C-alpha cells in the first residue's frame, strides 16, 4: 500500500472499475476518497453534508425530508431494510445485500450507474461508484470492492 490511504486505493487499481471510491469507518467518518479526472475533488463524487430533499410519500405526494447520507448507508446493512441510499446528493435504489464471511456487500442502483458498498468485520466501509456511460459494469465494481474489502478485513 502507498504512503496514504488514497495512494493505497489508487495502487489497488480500483479506478479501473469505479469512477470514485471512498473508505470510511463505522463511526461515520469517511477518511479517504479518490476519483477519476472528472472529479478534481473526489469528495464531491462521494458525499454531501446533510440536506433537505423532496421524498415521495405513500399517498403520491412529496414531503421535505432531511437526508443524512451516512445514516442511509448504515441502514442499507440492516437485513430488514430496502430503503434508498443517498450519496453526493443523489438517490440510489437498494438492489441486493450479500453477507459473506468477513464482508457484507450492498448493491445500489440509479439510472446508468450505481455503487457497491462493503462493510468489513473490523469496521471499515468501502464504497465504489460505477457509471455505465464510462463502460463500467456492476460485476467488475463488485469484484474490485469485495477484493479490497477482504484485504482490509484481514489487516
- Express each pLDDT in 21-56 by its tens digit: 999 998 878 899 999 999 889 999 999 999 999 888
Q: So what's the pLDDT on residue 3?
A: 56
Q: So what's the pLDDT on residue 55?
A: 85
Q: So what's the pLDDT on residue 1?
A: 43
Q: Which of 68, 73, 76 is nearest to 24 (CA)?
A: 73
Q: Percent of the chain having pLDDT more than 70?
A: 98
What domains does the chain contain, in order, with CATH numbers? 5-48+92-154 (3.30.450.30)
Q: So what's the pLDDT on residue 2?
A: 44
Rounded to two decimals, the pTM is 0.91
Report the phi/psi class of residue 77: left, alpha or beta, with left for phi > 0 and alpha for psi in -120 to 50: alpha
Amino acid at each position: 500500500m502507498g504512503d496514504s490511504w488514497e495512494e493505497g486505493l489508487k495502487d489497488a487499481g480500483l479506478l479501473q472499475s469505479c469512477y470514485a471510491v471512498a473508505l470510511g469507518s463505522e463511526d461515520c467518518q469517511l477518511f479517504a476518497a479518490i476519483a477519476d479526472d472528472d472529479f478534481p475533488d473526489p469528495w464531491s463524487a462521494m458525499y454531501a453534508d446533510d440536506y433537505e430533499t423532496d421524498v415521495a410519500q405513500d399517498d403520491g405526494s412529496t414531503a421535505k425530508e432531511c437526508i443524512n447520507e451516512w445514516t442511509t448507508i448504515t441502514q442499507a446493512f440492516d437485513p430488514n431494510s430496502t430503503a434508498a441510499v443517498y450519496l453526493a446528493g443523489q438517490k440510489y435504489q437498494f438492489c441486493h445485500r450479500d453477507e459473506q464471511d468477513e464482508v457484507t456487500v450492498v448493491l445500489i442502483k440509479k439510472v446508468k450507474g450505481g455503487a457497491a458498498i462493503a462493510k468489513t468485520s473490523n469496521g471499515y466501509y468501502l464504497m465504489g461508484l460505477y457509471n455505465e456511460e464510462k463502460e463500467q459494469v456492476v460485476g467488475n465494481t463488485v469484484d474490485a470492492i469485495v477484493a479490497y474489502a477482504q484485504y482490509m478485513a484481514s489487516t
